[in-house]
Amino acid sequence: MRLTKLVGLAAGIGAWVLTTTSVPAAETNVAVAANFTDAAKEIAAAFKAKTGHEAVLSFGTSGQFYTQITQGAPFQVLLSADDARPIKLIEDGLAVADSRFTYATGKLVLWSKTPGLVKGDETLKAASFSKLSICNPAAAPYGAAAVQAMKALKIYETLQPKLVEGATITQAYQFVETGNAELGFVALSQLTGPETGSRWLVPQELYSPIRQDAVLLKSGAGNEAATGFIAFLRGPEARAIILKYGYALDGQS
Amino acid sequence: MGGLSSDLWQSVRLTIELAAITTVILLLIGTPIAWWLARSRAWWKEIVSTVIALPLVLPPTVLGFYLLLTLGPNGPGGWVAGLWGGRTLAFTFEGLVFGSVLYAMPFVVQPIRNAFAAIGDRPLEVAATLRASPLRAFWTVAIPLARPGFLAGAVLGFAHTVGEFGLVLMIGGNIPGRTKVLSVAIFDFVEASQWREANILAGGMVIFAFAVILTMTLIEKRGIRR
């Protein structure tokens, strides 16, 4: 019993020494759209366990990252919340053209911490709340999708005075979480914890699909960790994590 | 310039309003505090002074986080908002004023306190021998003598409120005409790649900051010459 433990420990140490010495671990800086925060952390951990490479994650809005990358920000990979900005980066000559792919399709949810408050689109139509939180539609795709959905329901004009904007989807979530807004449009990926409050999964026909594209930036083309991370993101382990966080994968809806 | 969004000018007007109201409130409540700090011999006055000075050192996000909780429906702010049927003081102009007053207080109280302290006991004693009541001495002797301190405090308080960003971002909710102030508008324009608008506002801020610091220096110089 003791011996097997010791052997196991020795084997473990041996494997650790082998992996750390045979593969020189590289590091890459990845810019991640805020809605993908939790999933990205889990993927980066799995990526490290498998390859030994370190993906250092920064979280923010796609708009902010786009601006920063055009000004030479030290990122090698961008996991955007839309497809427009990765395409723009390729046009700008800052990203590798054939590296772009949709790693996840986002789902919009209307969410409240109060059980029973959100019943469906009738909750929005009744408008018996004082604050509805969304994220900045100009900079964050989930904000734009929320506006699109409200316009499709023809209630945007009436709801506009009640809207409060977070700079990121994380902040939109936080406004609801702290109770400052009764409800808000958030990403389904943010609601993977224990089911609390009430929610309505906004039907896909009310907004165009939130295609979240990843792209390898030119500065990362020679970085083993960066190319490795993009490849890992396409692989089965990463896809399983992405599905678990409530995203759809390319080709499904 | 006529083609620019009304959004832009709205945020300029809102910022000036916020800074002006904040400055007036700070002069009203900051003056007695500064007077007390300058004259009192209470052992705990430096503790009060330290509490007031905290925003100088704390990141705005600390204040923003606590304000988000205290202004919200589960904090005292929610109770106050309930007086006129609201749920929360976050996302309101009043909430921003409250946050700005806390945040800019050291910039107003400190110069006034220093100016009061610099007067010393003598002029007030002289006033007393001329049978001026303490209140009259305060109005006719202390306040005029501390004028440079008031000017400096007002200018700094105003300027600091105009320049505040992190706090407003966290409790404002980015509502045009109510909480979307200049610094947040610049952030928004940059995020949306609208660099022309960002340039106009940011350039304006540089000129404004230059004017403020120059004014401050001139006020200080005049204070010394007297």
Q: B152: pLDDT confidence band, cut at 50, 70 and 90?
A: very high
> Which pLDDT does position A15 carry in this prediction?
57
Judged against a pLDDT cut of 90, whether residue B217 lies above it is answered with no
- Give the residue from B7, B65, B80, B88 with the most A CB atoms within 10 Å of its CB, the best one to mutate: B88
> Which pLDDT does position B2 carry in this prediction?
44
Alpha carbons B29 and B105: distance in angstroms, whole number = 9
How many other CB atoms are there within 10 angstroms of residue A141's CB atom?
Answer: 30
Phi, psi of A200, deg, nearest 5: -135, 120
H or E element at residue A199 = strand A198-201
The alpha carbon of residue A62 is apart from the nearest alpha carbon of chain B, in Å, by 8
- Average pLDDT value for residue range A45-50: 95
Q: CB-based contact (8 Å) between B86 and chain A?
A: yes
Output the average pLDDT for chain B.
89
Alpha carbons B63 and A212: distance in angstroms, whole number = 34
Q: Does residue A250 lie within any of the structural domains? A: no
Higher-scoring residue by pLDDT: A15, A173:
A173
Judged against a pLDDT cut of 70, whether residue A22 lies above it is answered with no
Same domain, A73 and A125: no
Q: Does residue A137 lie within any of the structural domains? A: yes
Judged against a pLDDT cut of 90, whether residue A78 lies above it is answered with yes
Q: Does residue A253 lie within any of the structural domains? A: no
> Which pLDDT does position A13 carry in this prediction?
63
Same domain, A43 and A94: yes
Chain B positions in Cβ-Cβ contact with residue A112 (cut-off 8 Å): none
Reported pTM: 0.78
Q: B174: pLDDT confidence band, cut at 50, 70 and 90?
A: confident
3-state helix, strand, coil in chain B (%, to 5): 80, 0, 20
Closest CA to A210 of A169, A173, A244, A181: A169
Of the spans B32-36, B85-89, B124-128, which averages the highest pLDDT? B32-36
Judged against a pLDDT cut of 90, whether residue B207 lies above it is answered with yes
Same domain, A29 and A9: yes
Chain A residue with Cα closest to B184: A167
Same domain, A100 and A218: yes
Out of A201, A220, A236, a domain closes at: A201
Alpha carbons A17 and A52: distance in angstroms, whole number = 12
Chain A positions in Cβ-Cβ contact with residue B191 (cut-off 8 Å): 61, 63-64, 67, 136, 138-139, 167
Judged against a pLDDT cut of 70, whether residue A108 lies above it is answered with yes
Output the average pLDDT for chain A.
89
Mark yes or no for CB contact B193/A61 under 8 Å: no
Which of B26-40, B108-122, B188-202 is the least confident region?
B188-202
H or E element at residue B16 = helix B6-39
Q: What is the extent of the structural domain holding A162?
A: 108-201
Q: A29: pLDDT confidence band, cut at 50, 70 and 90?
A: very high
Same domain, A235 and A179: no
> Which pLDDT does position A14 carry in this prediction?
57
**pLDDT digit string (tens) for B112-121?**
999 999 998 8
Query: What is the interface pTM, i.e. ipTM, of the complex?
Result: 0.72
Judged against a pLDDT cut of 90, whether residue A147 lies above it is answered with yes
> Which pLDDT does position A143 carry in this prediction?
94
The residues, any chain, with a CB within 8 Å of residue A28's CB and separated by 6 or more, are A53, A54, A55, A56, A76, A77, A220, A223, A225, A226, A228, A229
Q: CB-based contact (8 Å) between B72 and chain A?
A: yes
Q: B221: pLDDT confidence band, cut at 50, 70 and 90?
A: confident
Share of chain A above pLDDT 90, in %: 71
Look at chain A and report how many structural domains it folds into: 2
- What region, left, alpha or beta, does residue A202 occupy, with left being phi > 0 and alpha being psi -120 to 50 degrees? beta
Q: Does residue A251 lie within any of the structural domains? A: no
For strands A183-187 and A101-106, give the pairing: unpaired
Q: A5: pLDDT confidence band, cut at 50, 70 and 90?
A: low
Give me the total of CB pairs closer than 8 Å, taking one residue from chain A and one from chain B. Answer: 67
Q: B194: pLDDT confidence band, cut at 50, 70 and 90?
A: confident
> Which pLDDT does position B68 carry in this prediction?
87
> Which pLDDT does position A25 carry in this prediction?
79
> Which pLDDT does position B20 carry in this prediction?
96
- Average pLDDT value for residue range B139-145: 91
The residues, any chain, with a CB within 8 Å of residue B95's CB and separated by 6 or more, are B67, B71, B77, B88, B89, B171, B179
The residues, any chain, with a CB within 8 Å of residue A236's CB and separated by 6 or more, are none
Closest CA to B71 of B50, B101, B45: B101
Chain B positions in Cβ-Cβ contact with residue A165 (cut-off 8 Å): 173-175
Judged against a pLDDT cut of 90, whether residue A85 lies above it is answered with yes
> Which pLDDT does position B178 carry in this prediction?
86
Q: Does residue A153 lie within any of the structural domains? A: yes
Q: B182: pLDDT confidence band, cut at 50, 70 and 90?
A: very high
> Which pLDDT does position B30 carry in this prediction?
96
Same domain, A112 and A100: no
Higher-scoring residue by pLDDT: A73, A231:
A231
- Average pLDDT value for residue range B56-67: 91
Same domain, A73 and A8: yes
CATH number at residue A184: 3.40.190.10
Closest CA to B169 of A170, A143, A142: A170
> Which pLDDT does position B14 carry in this prediction?
95
Judged against a pLDDT cut of 50, whether residue B43 lies above it is answered with yes
Higher-scoring residue by pLDDT: A10, A84:
A84
On whether the CB atoms of residues A212 and A218 are closer than 8 A, the answer is no
Judged against a pLDDT cut of 70, whether residue B223 lies above it is answered with no
Q: A198: pLDDT confidence band, cut at 50, 70 and 90?
A: very high
Higher-scoring residue by pLDDT: B83, A22:
B83
The alpha carbon of residue A127 is apart from the nearest alpha carbon of chain B, in Å, by 15
Same domain, A163 and A224: no
Same domain, A112 and A96: no
The alpha carbon of residue A64 is apart from the nearest alpha carbon of chain B, in Å, by 5
> Which pLDDT does position B105 carry in this prediction?
96
Q: Does residue A206 lie within any of the structural domains? A: no
> Which pLDDT does position A253 carry in this prediction?
44
- Average pLDDT value for residue range B189-195: 81
Same domain, A92 and A141: no
Of the spans A148-152, B92-96, B123-127, which averages the highest pLDDT? A148-152
Q: Does residue A161 lie within any of the structural domains? A: yes
On whether the CB atoms of residues A76 and A227 are closer than 8 A, the answer is no
Q: Does residue A162 lie within any of the structural domains? A: yes
Same domain, A63 and A152: no
N-to-C CA span, chain B: 44
Q: Could you give the domains of chain B?
A: 17-225 (1.10.3720.10)
Same domain, A168 and A223: no
- Average pLDDT value for residue range B38-49: 93
At residue B129, what is the residue type?
T
